Chain A
Amino acid sequence: MRITRRHFALGAAALGGAATLPFGSGRAFAADPLKIGFVYVGPVSDHGYTYQHDVGRKAVEAKYGDRVSTTFVENVPEGPDCERVVQQLAQAGHGLIYTTSFGFMNPTIKVAQRFPNVKFEHATGYKRADNVATYSGRFYEGRTVAGTLAGKMTKSNIIGYIGSFPIPEVVNGINAFTLAMREVNPQAQVRVIWVNSWYDPGKEADAAKALIDQGADVITQHTDSPAPIQVAQERGVWAIGQSSDMTRFGPKSHMTAVVEVWDGYYVDRVQQVFDGTWKPTDTWGGLASGMVEMAPFNPALPEDVRALGQQAIDDIKSGKRHPFAGPFKNQDGETVVPAGEAAADEAILSMNYYVEGVQGSLPK
């Protein structure tokens, strides 16, 4: 264990205060670990979104050992229950609390007002405060890579996309995918089926079957279960995993997966708390910062296709390529972003149209 100067100062201050303020005595020693709380929307065993956050939590534990102690609460519904959970964590002496779902935004802000000395970090939201930071991943960058592979590998020129809900985060993924796909294969089309659920293995499998029956030979998804990968494996078409590496569900069909990686961010932020440099920032990291990663490309993909995929990764990382670089048009043929420009972050975060190459109309 390392005792930093800040810790020492804190400890001394607390010791001094302990005589008059017995309440503070619990924090009297520098050896006290920083208590970190995590609030999850799903089960840690979902092998998708929540699982990846929990991998991040474990990384923090592995890195800091005795200096931290972490707690997580899983399956917290988005609503009033969340406020109670966050409040309890704050009362129990947690110094840093991560709330990892969009719907936890307002409860987090509310509780943060009551506990100005506790630091909060909220994933995928947009409301910040003096002690509330936000963070999210630029998952659409991963979709650009996936779209490149899919455009190269499709023979039927039909790609099936299983969507959860028509919200900007999902829509910008579909668009980034389609733009990249059309760049390598202008004939290819994307067909979208919305299952109106984040997680329903049966329905996701049915949607995959329907898309394959309609001629799709690559399936990609913005839902959380590996069921579509299993269907793709059985039917002998390609698929792209979501949130985590899903290779074992379809070793022959799994091209790659857009993986969400929170480890580095969590470890860095905890270090900043230790160093006293933590600020209520807004972080939106992509491939370059390591918050989004691609699962290893399937070795069965031709070498030139894998090279093209790697090129896309490298270009996005270096800033040479922007997933929403113009010129591109919406479905009605109107130019949304002219040549030489790229869609701004605000435009990406509020995307509510399909680009050219997506079939059907976006449910409003």
Chain B
Amino acid sequence: MIEAVVPILLAVMTAATPLLFAATGELVTEKSGVLNLGVEGMMLVGAVAGFVVTMATGSAVLGIGAAAAGGAFLALLFAVLTLGLLANQVATGLALTLFGIGLSALIGQSYVGIPLDRLPRLDVPGLSDLPVVGALVFGHDALIYLSLVMVGVVHWFLYRTRKGLILRAVGENHDAAHAIGYPVLTIRLLATLFGGAMCGLGGAYLSLAYTPMWAEDMVAGRGWIALALVVFATWKPGRVLAGAYLFGGVTIAQLHVQGAGFAVPSQFLSMLPYLATILVLVLISRDQVRIRLNAPACIGKTFHPAA
């Protein structure tokens, strides 16, 4: 019985990982006070960069690096426009998504319809063969482990290090942070680049492991879900993890419910992951005060150092 659940849980992990990467990255960006709505675009550019470089070099490691670089490159454009030229963050973020969709389609034009070998699974001899545990804990591909490690790293960085404290301070009140001498724009630039790189990794997971191919617009709205997860998780890395896995879990579960032939309208089942995730995250974070404590006060506001 338990063995039958294992493949389902594996599918859940696969479905959750791209969301987890993107949402964790966006969380850091938003914690520094920058609202980058270009997640979908950055994921797409990451996906195509990862695919093209893996294809060209045969090295998945280089591909993953290129994906992170691709996402960060788009984030850099965003940073130049919003931090440097003080453009509106919401408008620029939306434009970045549209730009990312177009740019990735252009780069990927001659790579459509080419299959790629799946990212190798890191099997541990002996351990991977253990029943249930072996399949669930060992034998994933490197990106799944990386996504989980990154949640821990981000949590540790934000809440256990001085640099993390400074980053949060910049997001809470950029004028105060500036007044005591912190380089607000530099910190925000770095946070934005980190967010972009993570979104790129989320995209690479799609094009290298989830469905190893490049297809135009293959992120298919996951960037927007990642953005929503950050808000519903009230800017807490642990809750982002819970939200991403919950969303992935309900997505897979609804497919199983359909396949088993339950008489529930498929349209309703399709919206279930969204409903369930919102509901649960709203419930666990229904304390108004704590939401306000966690939400970066300066999010989306442009910073004028001259003031």
> Whose C-beta in chain A lies nearest to the C-beta of B221?
A200
Residue B285 at the chain A interface, CB threshold 8 Å: no
Residue B59 at the chain A interface, CB threshold 8 Å: no
Given A43-B216, A227-B213, verify A196-B266 contact (CB < 8 Å). yes
A47 to B260 Cα, complex, angstroms:
31
Q: Mark B273-298 against chain A: 1 for CB-CB distance below 8 A, else 0.
A: 00000000000000000000000000
State how many angstroms separate the Cβ of A269 from the closest Cβ of chain B: 27
Residue B20 at the chain A interface, CB threshold 8 Å: no
Q: Mark A168-203 against chain B: 1 for CB-CB distance below 8 A, else 0.
A: 000000000000000000000001111111011111
Chain A residues with Cβ below 8 Å from B222 are 202
Chain B residues with Cβ below 8 Å from A248 are 113-115
Residue in B15, B109, B255, B261 whose CB lies within 8 Å of A359: B261
State how many angstroms separate the Cβ of B43 from the closest Cβ of chain A: 12
Residue in A201, A230, A249, A363 whose CB lies within 8 Å of B266: A363
Residue in B211, B215, B217, B261 whose CB lies within 8 Å of A191: B261
Q: Is A166 touching B266 in the complex (CB atoms < 8 A)?
A: yes
A206 to B13 Cα, complex, angstroms:
11
Residue B252 at the chain A interface, CB threshold 8 Å: yes
- A215-246 contacts to B (CB < 8 Å): 216, 225-227, 230, 234
Chain B residues with Cβ below 8 Å from A166 are 266
Q: Is B112 touching A360 in the complex (CB atoms < 8 A)?
A: no
State how many angstroms separate the Cβ of B238 from the closest Cβ of chain A: 25
For B215, B260, B261, B270, which residue has the most chain A Cβ atoms within 10 angstroms?
A: B215
A202 to B15 Cα, complex, angstroms:
8
Residue in A45, A199, A211, A361 whose CB lies within 8 Å of B259: A211
State how many angstroms separate the Cβ of B22 from the closest Cβ of chain A: 13
Q: Is B266 touching A160 in the complex (CB atoms < 8 A)?
A: no
Residue A210 at the chain B interface, CB threshold 8 Å: yes
Q: Is A202 touching B262 in the complex (CB atoms < 8 A)?
A: no
Q: Is B220 touching A363 in the complex (CB atoms < 8 A)?
A: no
Residue B72 at the chain A interface, CB threshold 8 Å: no
Residue B160 at the chain A interface, CB threshold 8 Å: no
State the majority secondary structure of interface residues on B.
helix
Residue B1 at the chain A interface, CB threshold 8 Å: no
Q: Is B251 touching A206 in the complex (CB atoms < 8 A)?
A: yes
Residue in B108, B206, B251, B259 whose CB lies within 8 Å of A214: B259
Q: Is A206 touching B252 in the complex (CB atoms < 8 A)?
A: yes
Chain A residues with Cβ below 8 Å from B251 are 203, 206
Q: Is B109 touching A360 in the complex (CB atoms < 8 A)?
A: no
Chain A residues with Cβ below 8 Å from B263 are 360-361
Residue in B211, B255, B260 whose CB lies within 8 Å of A230: B211
Q: Is A234 touching B118 in the complex (CB atoms < 8 A)?
A: yes
Residue B304 at the chain A interface, CB threshold 8 Å: no
Chain B residues with Cβ below 8 Å from A196 are 266-267, 270
Chain B residues with Cβ below 8 Å from A226 are 113, 115, 213
Residue in A45, A207, A211 whose CB lies within 8 Å of B109: A45
Residue A209 at the chain B interface, CB threshold 8 Å: yes
Residue B186 at the chain A interface, CB threshold 8 Å: no
Number of B residues, CB within 8 Å of A: 40
- A71-94 contacts to B (CB < 8 Å): none
- B119-151 contacts to A (CB < 8 Å): none
Q: Is A210 touching B118 in the complex (CB atoms < 8 A)?
A: no
State how many angstroms separate the Cβ of A170 from the closest Cβ of chain B: 12
A314 to B294 Cα, complex, angstroms:
68
Q: Is A201 touching B255 in the complex (CB atoms < 8 A)?
A: no
Q: Is A201 touching B11 in the complex (CB atoms < 8 A)?
A: no
Q: Is B215 touching A360 in the complex (CB atoms < 8 A)?
A: no
Residue A66 at the chain B interface, CB threshold 8 Å: no
A194 to B255 Cα, complex, angstroms:
8
A361 to B293 Cα, complex, angstroms:
48
Residue B7 at the chain A interface, CB threshold 8 Å: yes
- A305-364 contacts to B (CB < 8 Å): 359-361, 363-364
Chain A residues with Cβ below 8 Å from B217 are 199
Q: Is B218 touching A202 in the complex (CB atoms < 8 A)?
A: yes
Q: Mark A23-65 against chain B: 1 for CB-CB distance below 8 A, else 0.
A: 0000000000000000000010111000100000000000000
Given A203-B220, A230-B213, verify A209-B112 contact (CB < 8 Å). no
Residue A146 at the chain B interface, CB threshold 8 Å: no
Q: Is A194 touching B216 in the complex (CB atoms < 8 A)?
A: no
State how many angstroms separate the Cβ of A81 from the closest Cβ of chain B: 15
Residue B181 at the chain A interface, CB threshold 8 Å: no
> Whose C-beta in chain B lies nearest to the C-beta of A362?
B266
Residue B165 at the chain A interface, CB threshold 8 Å: no
Residue B65 at the chain A interface, CB threshold 8 Å: no
Chain B residues with Cβ below 8 Å from A205 are 210-211
Q: Which residues of A contact B (CB under 8 A)?
A: 43, 45-47, 51, 160, 166, 191-197, 199-207, 209-211, 213-214, 216, 225-227, 230, 234, 248-249, 359-361, 363-364
11 inter-chain pairs at a CB distance below 8 angstroms, sorted by A residue, are: A47-B215, A195-B255, A197-B220, A199-B215, A201-B206, A213-B7, A216-B259, A226-B115, A227-B213, A248-B115, A360-B260
Q: Which residues of B contact A (CB under 8 A)?
A: 4, 7-8, 11, 14-15, 18, 105, 108-109, 112-115, 118, 206, 210-213, 215-218, 220, 222, 251-252, 255-256, 258-263, 265-267, 270
The 6 closest A-B pairs by CB, nearest first: A360-B261, A194-B266, A210-B255, A47-B113, A45-B112, A201-B211
